[in-house]
Amino acid sequence: MEQITKKLVYKDENNVHYLLANGLTEVTMFNTKSGNPYTFVHAAYWHPYSLRHYMRDFSANSPISYARLGRKLKSLGLCDEKKDDGWDLKQIIIAIADHIAMNAKPWKHGMTEDNRTVKEIYGTREKFKNYLLETFKEEE
């Protein structure tokens, strides 16, 4: 049996948050209506608000791939909520296209019910990047 490593992120009298080795966050809530603790695991959002409709489906459908992509972009210094100068959406979009898993199904059961992979939809990273840049051109 493999041991799951966790890192404490936040704790108070109502809940505790752990960062798991796979990048997901485990939350246990103590103050529940039933009186029993409730634990769930989710992928914490790392993307800018303007990408919410695209990335939230990805987060729901492929949480580990989404968390891995977020860690990569954070390691590149692109998705830091504490930065004073804000987020450079164009750089983030280019990095998403350069680092997303091509076999990810980001829009599966989402708004479009599209069950295809990024590669099946766009063919190449360059075409995916062009699609994202064109879609979010007005956001810049």
How far, in Å, CA of 44 to CA of 30, rounded? Answer: 20
pTM: 0.77
Domain boundaries, the chain: 6-42, 49-139
Asked if residues 25 and 74 have their Cβ atoms less than 8 Å apart, the reply is no
Report whether pLDDT(4) > 80: no
Tens-place pLDDT, residues 28-79: 999 899 999 999 999 888 888 888 877 888 888 888 899 999 999 989 988 7
